[in-house]
Amino acid sequence: MANSPLKLPDPEDVLTCIDNWRKLDLKQLSNSSIDAQLSSFLQSLGSKLTVTTPNFVTIGGPWRIRKFDYLIKNESECWEPPKDSTKMGRCNAENDPVLYISPKITTPFEELSIKKNTQFYIIKYITSKPLQLFNILLPKQVPLDKSNLPIFDMKNNVSYQMMREFIRCEFLKPVGGGTEYLHRISGSMCRVWFNNDNIDGWQYPSVNLTDELNFALKPASAHDKLKVEYIHIAKLVDKEKRHIDSITDSGTKKIIDSKTIILESNFKGEINSGEITWRPSGEVLCSFN
């Protein structure tokens, strides 16, 4: 006998809950008050809708970029910031740090608006164990059961898609000057909705590059499952490149000039007993078409 589809609140009830949530003056609420409001929101729905379990992720890299504001001298600055200097972020509250990293090297360049010929720190980590991460955004395609059938019927699928869009809109709101409080909402979702004691952190789409991912790792998990492979002071530079475009019947080669962007190291950090010593470097770390 086939399993009965999972039951979600009716679409009308979901819409009412969302409307009530959006009437709140979240700008004036503290983190604890928003957590309480989100818990009440979930209770009014009667379902946390955590239909996905944390994913085990094994990645190459990952990468982190920091602006070159001063000279880093200790390996501790390759990790999450100290509690007393931690600002609100997409997945964290003030004074509650996480380590933000990206599985692809190009993602943080866009997020930090890195310009050519401007020095920055680039840190590459090695993962020693798979990371167990909650995917903040629910998949657009309705999950399937063990019999490869949708876990929701058509009516419940409407509720599912409404909640999926609500999570996407609330979590990925662009944040700028004067709207930093919006991070309280996304941070609360991580703490209250998508969380348990066993996960290492969260994965979520980049706001700047929605097809790419970022990770936010709990500090204990980051130190347990990652290690620093290298840190460089580097910059993006144009490099001229000549190549053969075509060869005529007579054997004449048509040469064209083009440019590629390379990630060029200026200094490489040598880590010894936690201290970083900087050595000149002209290494090309990678190139971009």
Taking only the tens place, the pLDDT of each residue in 92-132 is 999 999 999 999 999 999 889 899 999 999 999 999 999 99
Q: Which of 54, 98, 61 is nearest to 80 (CA)?
A: 98
Residues 35 and 74 in one domain: no
Please tell me the predicted confidence (pLDDT) of residue 151: 78
Q: Cis omega (within 30 of 0) on the bond before 62?
A: yes
Whether residues 143 and 286 fall in one domain: no
Pairing relationship of beta strands 253-272 and 226-247 according to DSSP bridges: antiparallel
Same structural domain for residues 91 and 213? Answer: yes
Whether 207 and 285 map to the same domain: the answer is yes
CA distance 192 to 265: 41
pLDDT at 1 over 50: no
Residues 92 and 205 grouped into a single domain = yes
What pLDDT does 77 receive? 97
Regarding whether 263 and 227 lie in a shared domain, the answer is yes
Q: DSSP label at 77?
A: G
203 & 144 share domain = no
Amino acid identity of residue 162, one-letter, is M
5-34: average pLDDT: 87
Alpha-carbon dihedral angle through residues 161, 165, 167, 172, given to the nearest 10 degrees:
150
pLDDT at 52: 56
Least confident of 17-21, 38-42, 227-231, 257-261: 257-261
Per-residue pLDDT at 2: 47
Which of helix, strand or coil describes residue 41?
helix
- By CB neighbour count within 10 A (0-12 exposed, 13-18 middle, 19+ buried), where does 122 fall? buried
Q: Where among 193, 209, 241 does a domain terminate? A: 193
pTM value? 0.86
Say yes or no to pLDDT of 65 above 90. yes
How far is 153 from 139, CA to CA, in rounded Å? 16
Instruction: Report whether pLDDT(71) > 90.
Output: yes
Both tokens of 171, joined, read 């979590």
The confidence score (pLDDT) of residue 241 equals: 62
Answer yes or no: do 128 and 141 share one domain: no
What integer is the mean pLDDT of 274-288?
93
Partners of residue 70 on adjacent β-strands: none
Q: Which of 282, 5, 1 is nearest to 154 (CA)?
A: 5
Q: Report residue 170 as tokens.
A: 């609330």
Q: Which of 267, 271, 264 is nearest to 227 (CA)?
A: 271
Interval 16-32 mean pLDDT: 89
Domain count within the chain: 2
Task: Report which listed range, 49-58, 168-177, 226-235, is most confident.
Answer: 226-235
Range of the domain at 111: 53-132+199-289
> What average pLDDT score do residues 44-60 get?
65
Q: What CA–CA distance (Å, rounded) separates 137 from 139? A: 6
